[in-house]
Each structure stands twice: as structure tokens, then as C-alpha cells.
Amino acid sequence: MAVTKVVEIPYTLEIPVGPQHPALHEPLLLKVYADGEEVVKVEVYTGYNHRGIEKLAEKNSFYRNIFIVGRVCGICNNVHANCYVRALEQILGIEPNNRAKYLRVLAMELERIHSHMLINAVMAEMIGFESLFMNIMLDRERIMKAKEILTGNRVVGDYMMVGGVRRDINDEKRDKLIKILDKTEERIKYYKNVFMEDDTILKRLVDVGILTKTDVVKYAIIGPPARASGVKIDARASDKYDAYGEIPFNVITRKEGDVWARMILRWDEALESINMCKYILEKLPSDGNPVPDEKRLPRRFPPCEAFTRVEAPRGELTYYVMSDGKPMPYRVKIRTPSVNNILNTAHVYLGHTIADIPVILASWDPCISCMERVTVLDLITGERKRIHLKELARRREKWVNPRYSI
């Protein structure tokens, strides 16, 4: 009697997640390959929202660019402007007074609080908690109001300027900010307890998307995802820029490395930022006017270059600005934290189910609109060509040729 041998051939299904996104409000394509419900491969595709910010900055004046870089990201516009402004201050040799430095830190920490509240609200939406999402967003509005009191605008603050800030605060505004922070602190503690105790949240987030400490170092992960895996990395503590060297704060870390740890760490960082804001408002120096006279600022920038970095809500953000003595910068190079954290974490999805994809993706707190910016220069003809990251990856051998400069 003949024996029939059955050979099982795995069937892999390709599932596009995005770029019109079920998980985010920004364009990013995750090409997911699944064997049944198990994810076996993920490819990350970007390039849907290139805006040419760097080239635009190289065609405008140094001072006008403060408003341009402030629009790289709507959520963390003050940290972008701060990083760029400090580069200009390095080139010009200008040092703001202590009051201005404290107010800069206050603006950036308010942005950190509302950014962390936003991504935790998005995570609640990802797992089906619409009411939790709406309540977190409602309490986030208090921080947006605090930002408006400080900078004059809810979203795009345009608060940073060379030599200081654009607005000072008085005792009345100080008292309003402290009341807002006290109320927000109470609410954040409540939401942290929800994330730590709710069974549904724990089942969806715990032991999902684990990023090991070794992987953080290997793939150069930065920001909250790195700290949630036990890597104590924070530009505020290492560089001590502006007033961070005088304001006491703790670099929060966790060791679990999963989605749940990344979200809880952000709640802890928001509470730490509230303590920092209160300290600033109570210890605000009175060493002069933090708002410089724009008419007295230098109009000529000497040939020089500067490199600055800042700890944005998503991680380390860097700016390189080069002046060749002309009215416009010769080069403005921006590296945002999402470039590292999104492109280098495709391996984290493997072994999980398709339903885990949105929560893992949201746990990186991705900002897609600030990621794509590549220009290739032909060193022989001088021709400039803009290409997307996926084309750069596919045709790597061509672009690494000494003829081309990226």
C-alpha cells in the first residue's frame, strides 16, 4: 500500500498597513508579511510627505528660518526652534541671560507634557478606549492653555529668538500656570494608575514589542523607547543646555522594554516635567529682561558652523548650521529622533499578531512629517537630485559611489 506524504507549505500574506493609516494620522507604509496571524516580516516605507524644509531654510535668512524650523513639527515646535536658535547663538557668540534660559526650559517642558499625554491618548484609542482617549485629550487642553499663556499661541509658539525669548511672564501668569500644573499633575497620576491596573490595557501592552537593551545600542534607538529598555540616555542631562544644569530632575528609566513600559515611562516623564515647571516658576531669576531688542541683533553672520542637540519629546534632535558669511545659511541639516526609532525597529514586530502592529507602532511615538529630507549632489556636474529613503536603500551601491555626496 502506497504511503502518501503531506508536505506543508507556509503561505505568507502581504498586508499593507498605511500609508492612509488605520493607526496614525500621518503617512507611513508598513508592508507586513503574515503567516496566518503571526507576523514574519515587516518592511518600512517612508517618503510620502517630503516638504524640503532643509532646502527652504537654505534659501531664507537666518532669522526668518526660526519660523520655518518651528513648523517642522507642530507638537514639538519650540524644541526645533530652540535647537536652531542655539546654533545661531554659537555662531554669533551670544549668550542669553538666566531668566531667558529658564523660560526656554519652561516652554520645552510644557511641550513634553502635552506630547506625552497625546501619544498615551492615541494608545488608548488604538486599544478601543475611546472615552479614555477623549478624557486624556480634554486634560491635555490645560497644558495647551498653559502654553498659550506663556508663548501667546496654543500650538506653534514661535517663542524662541536669538538672545532670549519673545515674551516674559508676570506674577499673574505665573500663578495661573501653577494652578494648571497642579490640576494636571493630579489627572496624570490618575491616568498612570489606569494604565498600571486596567486588565485590558495590561493584556494588550505587557510583553508586547519587547526591545532589549542590546537592541537599543545596536540599532541606535533614542528617547523614551531607549530609556524604557534601561538605557539612561538624555541630552538634557548630558549637555545641560540652557538652564538644565541648574534645574533638578531625574532621568526616568525602566527595564521591561515592552509597549507598556514605554507608555508608563512617558507618564513618569510628564510628572517629572511638571515638577521642573513648578521649580522654574518658583525660582525664576530676575537678572534682567529676557526679551532682547531685535533691532540690535547682528545682521551679519561670520563664516562658522555649529552643531546643537536637544532632548525632544521623542528623543535626541540635532541641528547642524553652516554659515559662509552670506545673508543665508550655506547648510541646515536636521536629524529627528523618529528617523532612528522608526526605520530601525522593524524586527520588533516579528512573532506578534497582526492586531499588535498598531500598538507597537504607536509606542514609538512616530512623527512622520519631519523624517524625509535627502538631497544627492553630483560632484562632477553639480546637479542636485532629491530622492526618497526607499530609493536610497534600493540603489545603495549607486549613491555610495564617490561621485555622489549625500
Structural domain including 282 reads 53-346
One domain for residues 118 and 262: yes
In a domain, 4, yes or no: no
105's grid cell: 526650559
Q: How far is CA 345 from CA 11, 48, 68, 93, 211, in A?
A: 24, 19, 30, 39, 8
Q: Cα angle at 331 between 328 and 334, to 5 degrees?
A: 120
Q: What's the pLDDT score for residue 406?
A: 42
Cα 274 to Cα 277: distance, rounded to the nearest angstrom? 5
378 in a domain, yes or no? Answer: yes
Q: What is the pLDDT of residues 285-338, one digit of tens each?
A: 998 899 999 999 999 999 999 999 999 999 999 999 999 999 999 999 999 898
Predicted model pTM = 0.87
> For each of the chain's 406 residues, which pLDDT tens digit applies?
566 665 554 556 777 677 776 667 778 888 888 888 889 898 888 777 777 788 889 999 999 999 999 988 888 899 999 999 999 999 999 999 999 999 999 999 999 999 999 999 999 998 989 999 999 999 999 999 999 999 999 888 899 999 999 999 999 999 999 999 999 999 999 999 999 999 999 999 999 999 999 999 999 999 999 999 999 999 999 999 999 999 999 999 999 999 999 999 999 999 999 999 999 999 999 988 999 999 999 999 999 999 999 999 999 999 999 999 999 999 999 998 988 898 889 999 999 998 899 899 999 988 887 776 555 555 456 565 555 555 554 544 454 444 434 4
How many Å apart are CA 338 and CA 372, to the nearest integer? 10
Contact 231, 216 (CB under 8 A): yes
| Encoded amino acid at 24, one letter | L
Residues 320 and 380 in one domain: no
Long-range contacts of range 65-73, CB-CB < 8 Å, 24 or more positions apart?
65/329, 65/332, 66/158, 66/160, 66/161, 66/162, 67/158, 69/319, 69/332, 69/334, 70/156, 70/157, 70/158, 70/160, 71/156, 72/334, 72/336, 72/369, 72/370, 73/336, 73/367, 73/369, 73/370
User: Is 352 within a domain?
Assistant: no
Q: Give the pLDDT confidence score for residue 301 in this predicted structure.
A: 94
Same domain, 296 and 380: no
- Does 324 share its domain with 404? no
Q: Is residue 164 domain-shared with residue 277, that is, in the same domain?
A: yes
How many domains in the chain? 2
Q: Render pLDDT for 54-111 as a digit per residue (tens, 0 to 9).
A: 888 999 999 999 999 998 888 889 999 999 999 999 999 999 999 999 999 999 999 9
Co-location of 295 and 384 in the same domain: no
Q: How far apart are CA 403 and CA 378, in angstroms?
A: 6
Q: Which of 346, 364, 385 is the last residue of a domain?
A: 346
Read off the CATH number of the domain in which 130 is found.
1.10.645.10
Do 92 and 168 share a domain, yes or no? yes
Boundary residue ending a domain (306, 331, 346):
346
* One domain for residues 385 and 244: no
Residues 342 and 394 in one domain: no
- Whether 236 is covered by a domain: the verdict is yes
Sign of CA dihedral 377, 383, 389, 394: negative
Among residues 328, 346, 364, which one ends one of the domains? 346
